[in-house]
Amino acid sequence: MKVLVHATPTLYEARGDFQLIIQHLEPIGVGNLNLAFEQLKNKLTDEGLFDNIHKKSLPNIINTIDVISSSTGAVIRDIIKVLNKRYPFTDILLFDSMVQRQGSVKKLTNALNAADQSGKCDVIIIARGGGSLEDLWAFNEEVLARAIFKSKHANY
């Protein structure tokens, strides 16, 4: 974990002792992102968003699955391959979206809302492949978590 420290240096000349008096300490980089994630998770947990009473059951019959992901990533090919094996008679509709970098949380949220309001799906999958924590941070944004919670077909 990397931290940013604001400190005052002091020197005791008689012994040559050097010390730093830390006045402020904060995590940076991935440590800061982990802290933000934990804070958001605790906030949403306290509000009851993850309570079992809000969990949606999968329908008994699934005719259409909406997938929100990037059309160019490897994950969509993997999803289609698995769904074709497990649900060979199910339609798969792709809602193409950015899944990383700036602006991706808005694109993901808009795609989720469009899929949810289309009335064409039984369930929604929001998927991403691998990547760094920073690249895929959109999946940890509060606005997307709340959109999933409000969705009729997505389950957090």
Q: Are residues 85 and 132 in the same domain?
A: yes
Verify that 62 and 39 share a domain, yes or no: no
DSSP structure class, residue 55: P
CA dist 138 and 153 (Å) reads 20
CA distances (Å), origin 149, targets 27, 30, 83, 143: 29, 26, 24, 10
Residue 155 lies in a domain: no
pLDDT tens per residue across all 156 residues of the chain: 678 899 999 998 888 899 999 998 877 766 778 888 999 999 999 999 999 999 888 899 999 999 999 999 899 999 999 999 999 999 999 999 999 888 999 999 999 999 999 988 999 999 998 888 788 889 999 999 999 999 988 765
What is the reported pLDDT for 62? 92
Q: Model-level pTM?
A: 0.76
Do residue 130 and residue 86 come from a single domain?
Answer: yes
User: Do 86 and 120 reside in the same domain of the chain?
Assistant: yes
Domain range for 7 is: 2-46
Structural domains in the chain (count): 2
Output the six-digit token pair for 71: 């059309």
Which pair of tokens denotes residue 54? 């809000």
**Do 91 and 26 reside in the same domain of the chain?**
no
Do 113 and 143 have their domain in common? yes
Q: What is the CATH number of the domain that holds 143?
A: 3.40.50
